[in-house]
Structure 1
Amino acid sequence: MAYGTITRRRAVLAAGASLAAPSVRAQAPYPAGQSVALVVALAPGGASDVIGRIVTQGLQERLGGTFFLEHRTGGSTSIAARHVARARPDGSTLFLGSVSTFALTPLTMRNPGYDPINDFTHITQACDSLFLLAANPRWPSLEALLDAARARPESISYATWGIGTTSHLWMEDLCRRAGVRMLHVPYAGSPPAMIDTIAGRTDCLPALLAACKGHMEAGRLRGLAVPTATRPPQLPDVPTFIEKGFPDFVSTVWYSVQGPPGMPAPIAARIRDALAEHFADPAVQAFMATQGMLPPEIGEGPLLARIRRELALHRELMARSGVEPS
Structure 2
Amino acid sequence: MTVTKPIHRIAIVGTGVIGASWTALFLAKGLQVTATDIAPNAEAALVQFVENAWPALKRLGLSPGASQSNLKFTADLAAALDGADFVQENGPERLDFKRKLYGQLDELLSPDAIIASSSSGLKMSEIQSGAALHPERCVIGHPFNPPHLIPLVEVVGGKKTSEQSIRRAMEFYTSIGKKAVRLNKELPGHVANRLQGALAREVYHLVAEDVLSAADVDDALSWGPGLRWGIMGNMMLNHLGGSPGGIEHFFQQFAGPMTTSWKALGSPVLTPELQKKLIDGVRAEVGSRTIPELEAERDEILLGLLELRAKRPDTVAPREAAAE
Q: When the two structures are superposed, what TM-score results if normalisation uses the length of structure 1?
A: 0.26
- Give the structure with the larger helix fraction: 2
- Give the structure with the larger strand fraction: 1
